[in-house]
Structure 1
Amino acid sequence: MAIYLNDHYTGATGGLELFQRAAGAKKGGKEEVVLTDPARQVEEDRDALAQIMADLGVSVDRTKVALGWVAEKAGRLKTNGHLFSRSPLSDVLEAEAMLLGVLGKAACWRSLRALAYTDRRLDAAKLDTLLERAEHQNAALEELRVAAVTRTLAPKTPPSN
C-alpha cells in the first residue's frame, strides 16, 4: 500500500507542476482560466492524498517525490521543433499528459473507494467527492485537448478533391 500511494503522490506532484506550467504558459488567455481552477484542484487533491496516507500510517517518500519532480522537469527537454520558444504541439502533448494524470488519479480514488468497504480509516464520502471532481477535470481536459488538436494538427487549408 505504501508503494502504491507514494507512486500516486509522486505522480500528483509532477502533475501539479505540469498544470501550473500549462496555466502559466496561457497567461492572459481564455485557457489560463480553464487551467487555473483545475491546477488549484490538483493541489487540493494531492493534499487529500497526503491526508489519506497519514490516516493509513503511510509516510510520504520524499526521495521518490524529488525524483518525480526532477523527471517532470526533464520531460520538458524534448525536441519540439522550437529551440527557445514554446511549440504549438506543446498544448496537445500537455493536455494529453494532464488527461492521463487525471485518469490515473481517478483510478487511485476508485481503488481506495473499493477498500473503504472494509477499512474504516478510509472516508468513502470523501473519496466519492474526489472521484466526482476527477471526472469533471477529465471532461474539461478532454475539451481542452480536442481544441488544441484542432488548432494545431488540422490542415490549414482544406484538402483539394
Structure 2
Amino acid sequence: MDLLKHYVRLHLTAMSAGIDLFGRSEGIEDEEARKLATDVRHQLVEQREALRLVARRIGASEPRLPALAARAGERLGRLKPNGSLVHRTPLTDVVDLEAMHDVACGLVAGWSALQEVDDPRVDGDEVRRLLAQGQDQVERLRDVHRAAARRAFA
C-alpha cells in the first residue's frame, strides 16, 4: 500500500466534509464570524484543488465512497443538541465554530505532514503557503469561537 496516496485520499475526504460544514456559515449570528467562515470556505475550496493536484501527481484517485460517508456524517452532526430542537441558539454558533476550528486544525496537521514529504511531486513551497494559510485560519477561528462563547455564556 502506498501510504502517501492513502494519506492524501483521507485528507481529500476530510476537506470535502469540511467544506460542507463551512457551507453552513450563513446561519452564524455574528457578522464577523459569518464572514470569516465564508472566507475560509472559499480558501478550503482552493486548498482542495491544490490537494487534488498533489493526488494526481502521485497517482492517487479521488475517494468517492469515503467522501460520501464523510459528508453524510457532517450532515448528521447538524442534529447535535443545542438547547432547542427548532431554532438556533447562541450555543449553536459556539458548537459550529468549534467544529470549524477542529476542521482547520486537522487540515493544518495534514499540510504539516505533507511538508515532511521528500518527493518532487509534492511542491514544498505550495505546501508551506497552504500551511501558513491554515495556521492563520486556525487563529482567526479560535478568536471568533471564543467571542461566541463569551456571548453565549454571558
TM-score (norm 2): 0.91
Q: Which residue matches 1:81?
A: 83
Q: Which runs of 5 or more residues in structure 2 are unaligned? A: none
Q: Which runs of 5 or more residues in structure 1 are unaligned? A: 155-161
- AA at the equivalent of 1:3: H
Q: Which residue matches 1:111?
A: 113
Q: Which residue matches 1:2?
A: 5
Q: Deviations over 1:3-27 (max 9, x none)?
A: 3222211111111111110x21138
- AA at the equivalent of 1:36: T
Displacement of 1:35 in angstroms is: 1.9
Displacement of 1:78 in angstroms is: 2.0
Q: Which residue matches 2:148?
A: 148
Contact 2:112 2:131 (8 Å CA) reproduced: yes
- AA at the equivalent of 2:15: A
Of 5-14 and 129-138, the range deviating more from structure 2: 5-14
**1:46 is aligned to 2:33:** no
Displacement of 1:139 in angstroms is: 1.1
Distance 1:96 1:28 in 2: 14
Distance 2:148 2:126 in 1: 33
Q: Which residue matches 1:62?
A: 64
Q: Deviations over 1:85-114 (max 9, x none)?
A: 112111111111111111111111111111
Q: Which residue matches 1:131?
A: 131
Displacement of 1:32 in angstroms is: 2.5
- AA at the equivalent of 1:44: E
Distance 2:29 2:88 in 1: 13
Selected match of 2:16 from 6, 13, 22 = 13
- AA at the equivalent of 2:141: L
Distance 1:47 1:54 in 2: 10
Q: Relative contact order (C-alpha < 8 Å, sep 6+): which is higher?
A: 2
How many residues in Structure 1 have an aligned counterpart in Structure 2? 151
Distance 1:3 1:122 in 2: 15
Q: Which residue matches 1:121?
A: 121
Contact 1:14 1:68 (8 Å CA) reproduced: yes
TM-score (norm 1): 0.87
Identity across aligned pairs (percent)? 32
Q: Which has the larger radius of gyration?
A: 1
Displacement of 1:28 in angstroms is: 8.9
Q: Which residue matches 1:157?
A: none
Q: Which residue matches 2:94?
A: 92
Contact 1:6 1:64 (8 Å CA) reproduced: no
